[in-house]
Amino acid sequence: MNFNEIAKRCEAGRLTESKDFLMKSVAANAMKLGKEYDITWDGKTFLNTDDDMADRCFQAGRELFINTGIYSMNSSRVVQFSKREVDDALRFIRPQVAMGAGKDRVFIHHRQVEDARKPFIFCGPFNANVHEDMFVRLNEVFSRERIVDCLFFPGYLNEVDGQLIRPTSALATRMAILYGQWAREAVRRGGRPGMAIAGHAVMAPGEIACTHEEWGLRSTDPRAMVLISELQVDDVTLTRLAYYQAYGCPIYMAFTPLVGGYGGNVAGTSVVAVASFIASIMLGGEIVHIGPQHMKYKQQTNQHSLFLASLANQAVARNSNIIATTSHTTSGRPGSAQYAYEFSALALTAVTSGSNVSGPRPAEPLGNNNVSPLMGKLFAEVAHAAAGMSREQAAPIVEALYEKYKDNLDLENAPKGQPFEELYDLNTLTPTPEHQALYDQVKQELADLGIPLV
């Protein structure tokens, strides 16, 4: 749909309070439609294998979206769409999007359930605070990993010279410019000058300033927007959307359905997730990211989230051309084996369910630079290995992995991990022998469990 029409509806839709939208519209409809379409979860299954339920979930999500629309948080108005508008938008989705430039140009595709094509890999210091002194070097190492298709969220710069940055300040805009310059410099140093860089600089109001074809983020770089749970959008996101659409950037739209939140249980939240996929498309999203979040665990590899990721992804993979990608948010942190067990469990689930992959990231990174490009490489290798596996093959491996980390889901108890500067030799920008040994050991364990890693 034309962005102008969306922006107009944000000013002209039905006026209502946020709580009423969430409770009377989203929650009430999600629960009702979940029952009507018989969307269920037995509390035991890790990975959905019921195609008919995936199809019903898509229909329920479509109906939910048509009933509820999207809530504009700043104007307090509901943006609604007709059935025809929704079906037209779904019909005209482009199943392939290009990003990056020159020899570094790559394509992301819509994937089918159990698709043999390798998933697209978004990988980088996702969600981590990255210190200005380490920003370029750390991102350079990510870009050197050839298996990574797109440098993903080069990290949050939230201080400069020890000064914390207020998000709407001039300093925030200055840091957004540096973010663009340094991210571009990092991929140049990595030998991939046209490599796509996806993300946002967190200081959203001034972030447009990091756009520059020579030194910053380009029209060939996907720009990430985030919907607020559930089915809500704010003016900052719409402002960025207006600019990046006009500038020609691929639009990467993310949402995080909350199990236990306004969607209720896993079934209801799966319906909300499908509605959010469709909402993302209506707003102009071309790549749609689901973060199967959980209210209690605050991460995405718990059993509820695994099933949600499988069901919602299968619903859109089977019934639309939406290009989906799934974020991987773990309790364990980089530098621990648990981190790898968790992202592997979700990657197997997501990839066999028709998704591409984004991540991994710890839900609660500790301090600056709590990231590992080597673990990013392993994540990508697992995701590639999952391509072509059946859900029946993947499910017991997911369960075996879950058994390894289920008692350490609590963020307090989860392994603390280590920062980049302890996992890598900063002179050579290579993993320390200990970190390399961890990678070798975990990769062997994953292979022994049945993941076809080469």
Partner 1 sequence: MADAEQIYEMMRKSIQDYDSDAAVAAAELAVAEGLDLLEAVEKGFANPIRELGEAFDRMEIFLPELTLGADAMKAGVAVLEKALNEQGGKLEKKATVVVGTVEGDIHDIGKSVVATLLQANGYEVYDLGVEVPAQRIIEAAESHNADVIAMSALLSTTMLYQRDVIELLTNKGIRDKYFILVGGAPVTQAWADEIGADGFAHDAFEAVQLLDGVMEGRGK
Q: Which residues bind partner 1 (CB under 8 A)?
A: 18-19, 23, 27-28, 31, 73, 129, 156, 158, 164-168, 172, 202-203, 228-229, 234, 258-265, 268, 295-296, 298, 304, 363-364, 366, 411-412
In 3D space, the residue among 123, 146, 108 whose CA is nearest the CA of residue 354 turns out to be: 108
In 3D space, the residue among 339, 338, 349 whose CA is nearest the CA of residue 399 turns out to be: 349
Q: Which CB atom, from 27 or from 378, has the smaller least distance to partner 1?
A: 27
Q: Which element (helix H / strand E) includes 120? A: none
Q: Which CB atom, from 36 or from 234, has the smaller least distance to partner 1?
A: 234
> Do 287 and 222 touch, CB atoms closer than 8 A?
yes
In 3D space, the residue among 284, 214, 292, 208 whose CA is nearest the CA of residue 256 turns out to be: 292
Q: Which CB atom, from 129 or from 356, has the smaller least distance to partner 1?
A: 129
**Smallest distance from partner 1 to CB 160, Å:** 12
Q: Which CB atom, from 41 or from 120, has the smaller least distance to partner 1?
A: 41
Q: Bridge-partner residues for 289, per DSSP?
A: 254, 325
**Smallest distance from partner 1 to CB 19, Å:** 8
Give how far the C-alpha of residue 252 lies from the chain's centroid of Cα atoms, to the nearest Å.
Answer: 9
In 3D space, the residue among 369, 371, 288 whose CA is nearest the CA of residue 322 turns out to be: 288
Q: Which CB atom, from 367 or from 396, has the smaller least distance to partner 1?
A: 367
- List helix spans (H) across 170-234: 170-189
**Smallest distance from partner 1 to CB 203, Å:** 6
Q: Which CB atom, from 150 or from 258, has the smaller least distance to partner 1?
A: 258
Q: Bridge-partner residues for 362, per DSSP?
A: 330
Phi, psi values for residue 72, rounded to 5°: -85, 110
Q: Which CB atom, from 19 or from 44, has the smaller least distance to partner 1?
A: 19
Q: Which CB atom, from 193 or from 205, has the smaller least distance to partner 1?
A: 205
Q: What is the rounded CA–CA span in Å between residue 169 and residue 165? A: 7
**Smallest distance from partner 1 to CB 403, Å:** 20
Angle at 7 between CA 6 and CA 9, to 5 degrees: 65
**Smallest distance from partner 1 to CB 64, Å:** 14
Q: Which CB atom, from 69 or from 261, has the smaller least distance to partner 1?
A: 261
Q: Which CB atom, from 262 or from 341, has the smaller least distance to partner 1?
A: 262
**Smallest distance from partner 1 to CB 110, Å:** 31
> Do 284 and 3 touch, CB atoms closer than 8 A?
yes
In 3D space, the residue among 425, 442, 325 whose CA is nearest the CA of residue 375 turns out to be: 442
**Smallest distance from partner 1 to CB 419, Å:** 15
Q: Which CB atom, from 138 or from 446, has the smaller least distance to partner 1?
A: 138
Find the Cα–Cα–Cα–Cα dihedral 184, 189, 194, 196, rounded to 10°.
-60
In 3D space, the residue among 360, 280, 283 whose CA is nearest the CA of residue 312 turns out to be: 280
**Smallest distance from partner 1 to CB 305, Å:** 12
**Smallest distance from partner 1 to CB 277, Å:** 20
Q: What is the rounded CA–CA span in Å between residue 166 and residue 265? A: 37
- Distances from the Cα of 112 to the Cαs of 52, 115, 354, in angstroms? 15, 5, 5
Q: Bridge-partner residues for 431, per DSSP?
A: 424
In 3D space, the residue among 311, 383, 314 whose CA is nearest the CA of residue 347 turns out to be: 383
**Smallest distance from partner 1 to CB 81, Å:** 23
**Smallest distance from partner 1 to CB 200, Å:** 11
Order of strands across the sheet with 14-15? 14-15, 77-79, 70-72, 232-233
The DSSP bridge pattern shows strands 14-15 and 77-79 to be antiparallel
